[in-house]
Structure 1
């Protein structure tokens, strides 16, 4: 997922910093100022983390029920102020009102899921002590880490970081959130509304704003874990910064997700899904569809359907536009370079082309006959583009899909082989006969492998990412056979071995 992070390399594009160390967030549709925000220094970030650490004690002591009550109040407040929140997201990202509303619906659903399931997933439970330690009782519970630092992206400025924030808070942690410099107002809105809903817990959820230096400072401010969403190169820099203090990290990076269309697919449904998965939010989705591998027997029909549907879509800033602008100006250069390389290498544009790129807007671009080693295939484009490749069959499509080091998500369309093909894909998530269904299900973990990162947000795994397991044993009675002492004697060990053979050797 393309996003400015602790290097600060794109910060000059988002705003101009004034003499009082503030910067402006801009509406990418018009260039108008949405709001002004402080550039927090390393000292500011350390102070925020210290305050969060103090606040975390009382927050953890609330227990699951107490935290649930506060987080439920926050969720209800977000619902009441959804229109205001939507307008802010649209202003800072340029995305359409409907896209922003869809994002916020997911936000609310995930907050609800995290609070409802935290006790079940993380609460104390009994564990079997096994044969050797039968005279002990054993239990396991997951305790809060303390303070979690979250570095969020601009493309889904509420939904993506909430996959860490809500789960970390439900697990009993305090959170310090550094939003993208392109969407600082969204981060501040989230923290402000939380403060209104849980006024007696000041410091539990804080926001620090600024550029790359602020994000880097958060990595080195003594947090107990960093959850980062952004590009793969920046993710590596975050890991390097955190390695100095052995701070654990959760890294959700870029993707080049593929959609496989088998010869027995519902071609009409597959085409509609490809257009939606590749072009919604102007293609600015880490798990969006960027590559399509379609079996030769249905390729002509599929390409014709995609061409007709994509050609009808129009970007713009008006309410009835299909999608909005490219939020980060520098990304337009990447899109242009990828399309140019594909065309120079023999690819054809069946929808749009280089003339479709008119910053800040990019119209849909559908490419065919693109070599597999072109940049449009191997690198994350993050724009409203689709590369469609004919393959002899779905298995060859899966092989090509797995050829890259990215492994975030994927999709398969097949009436009879969907789950079989899904299991063969080297990625963290797959939707069968749909696109991005996994992202909308709070109970499923979200994350990738390889250059797409590691760790998981959402679901049971997402809650456990922000807690540490503590195992406790308690002696219940003295054992007849105790090999865990120097008074055991050879006879005791022989009896234990004999028992193990009897129980487990058959």
Structure 2
């Protein structure tokens, strides 16, 4: 296994690290390692910038964000090429995630006012003399630690929504994709005329640790569950709240009435796109036994020309993080050793940079190919006797991020029974492309939500205000309150809540 692509710091007057193309090892860029003192300084600058950004109106912030959206759109080929070189993913895949990110920026900008702006709420009969309002105010400075597999789309789910809510952002991109992170920060800086509203702090693990311990108001993290726990522990020192998106082991369920061609197409793409390096990608497939053989014939036919490589005919790129190659191989080997059947690929599919598509069937449920996140272009496809069994096996995991169901008659009912934050019916990963839907998981997949109204509110605190419209008939918040008033209050509350109520 090659280890030459691991980012490493070089010592000098200023420590730096290299970003390398995982397909061939070529140098993409050299970046400074941001020190703890420099992270603290960036957070201090962000604190100053939020005095301007946070006090703009929703419409003014939206104008800046929509301008940024337009800048990214016009330069999409430039950003996609940089992402391609740092991650190895095909240009088309790099462009696709940028397209989705652009749509999310636009949604956040246009909907922040409606979701977060002040609105009246009912005061109730007891407090009828009060006008009540609630609004959502920005927290201040938000830290974002992004992943390498989708270096634009995934962190943008935090960055754009935090910015739209009125926060400043300090962004630590993955050490594998620092150039993409710098590009995003630089392009936004143009839009806000050099202000420090969005800053990037490139570096290795220590830089991320420094951001967790800095005086930020919230941190959004995407990465492994193991690292997520370290992030939480570091943030706990300052009681800094966190959003954790920590991966999954998602399944795709195929009912006996499903369109098998579409289901196979979705499973293949969900499992193999981006070389399987997708937290919401498909890793397990449960197919009704009545259509299992037909499904296997279909998916293997669709996969016959699919391959990984760096040439224009390859649909799958390299494994971006070299250490993952060993994990992928160990999962495949463990499944085979326990009795799984190889339908495509296998142990020999794992090379020094690329992994060829691998499909295993009849994979034991206690194998690591089923229980642990593989993060490679592999699929474990097992037959089930019923949809009850499919749901039970799908939910028999510590993860709970996403999934998919293919069924003509029962798709929605099956989806509701899956313990996950997101499920798509008769498609795969569709929820990620809908900006109004929340994105996040349960269990070991993490907590908190990005995207949608929930994502906007994650980067705010609720501010409740009451304003007295007229003097109360009974002043309850006074030492002058007497026994007669207490008796009237008791009578009123009995009338309001003491009787048997029916829901209409």
Question: Structure 2 length as normaliser, TM-score?
Answer: 0.97
CA contact 1:407–1:448 (8 Å) conserved in 2: yes
Shift of 1:18: 4.5
Q: Which residue of 2 aligns with 1:456?
A: 449
1:467 partnered with 2:470: no
Deviations 1:23-54 (A, max 9, x none): 11000011000011000110010000000001
Instruction: Determine the C-alpha separation between the residues in 2 that align with 1:500 and 1:12.
Output: 70
CA contact 2:268–2:303 (8 Å) conserved in 1: yes
1:118 partnered with 2:86: no
Query: Aligned to 2:251, what secondary structure does the other structure show?
Result: strand
Shift of 1:466: 0.5
1:56 partnered with 2:50: yes
Q: Which runs of 5+ in 2 are unaligned?
A: none
Q: Which residue of 1 aligns with 2:368?
A: 375
Q: Which residue of 2 aligns with 1:3?
A: none
CA contact 2:5–2:322 (8 Å) conserved in 1: no
Q: Which residue of 2 aligns with 1:45?
A: 39
Q: Which residue of 1 aligns with 2:88?
A: 94
Structure 1 12/102 Cα, relative in aligned 2: closer, same or farther at 3 Å?
Answer: closer
Q: Which residue of 1 aligns with 2:180?
A: 186
- What aligned pairs does 1:224-243 form with structure 2 within 5 A after superposition? 224-243=217-236
Instruction: Determine the C-alpha separation between the residues in 2 that align with 1:15 and 1:269.
Output: 43
1:442 partnered with 2:435: yes
Q: Which residue of 1 aligns with 2:394?
A: 401
> Would you say how many aligned residue pairs link Structure 1 and Structure 2?
496
Instruction: Determine the C-alpha separation between the residues in 2 that align with 1:342 and 1:495.
Output: 72
Shift of 1:499: 2.5
1:176 partnered with 2:170: yes
Instruction: Determine the C-alpha separation between the residues in 2 that align with 1:385 and 1:18.
Output: 39
Query: Aligned to 1:376, what secondary structure does the other structure show?
Result: helix
Alpha carbon RMSD of aligned pairs, Å? 1.3
Question: Structure 1 length as normaliser, TM-score?
Answer: 0.96
Q: Which runs of 5+ in 1 are unaligned?
A: 1-9
Q: Which residue of 1 aligns with 2:267?
A: 274
- What aligned pairs does 1:226-265 form with structure 2 within 5 A after superposition? 226-265=219-258
Query: Aligned to 1:314, what secondary structure does the other structure show?
Result: coil
Query: Aligned to 1:362, what secondary structure does the other structure show?
Result: coil
Query: Aligned to 1:150, what secondary structure does the other structure show?
Result: strand
Query: Aligned to 1:407, what secondary structure does the other structure show?
Result: coil
Shift of 1:16: 5.0
Residue 71 of structure 1: which of 65, 82, 88 is its match? 65
Q: Which residue of 1 aligns with 2:287?
A: 294
Instruction: Determine the C-alpha separation between the residues in 1 that align with 2:406 and 2:66.
Output: 38
Q: Which residue of 1 aligns with 2:416?
A: 423
Instruction: Determine the C-alpha separation between the residues in 1 that align with 2:219 and 2:327.
Output: 28
Deviations 1:323-342 (A, max 9, x none): 11100000001000000000
Moved over 6 A (4+): none
CA contact 1:97–1:319 (8 Å) conserved in 2: no
- What aligned pairs does 1:296-335 form with structure 2 within 5 A after superposition? 296-335=289-328
Deviations 1:398-454 (A, max 9, x none): 101101110000111111111111111111001011110111111000000000000
Shift of 1:266: 1.4
Deviations 1:67-94 (A, max 9, x none): 1111111111111111100100000000
1:147 partnered with 2:131: no
Shift of 1:206: 0.2
Deviations 1:107-136 (A, max 9, x none): 100000000000000001111111211111
1:349 partnered with 2:342: yes
Instruction: Determine the C-alpha separation between the residues in 2 that align with 1:248 and 1:273.
Output: 36
Instruction: Determine the C-alpha separation between the residues in 2 that align with 1:266 and 1:429.
Output: 21
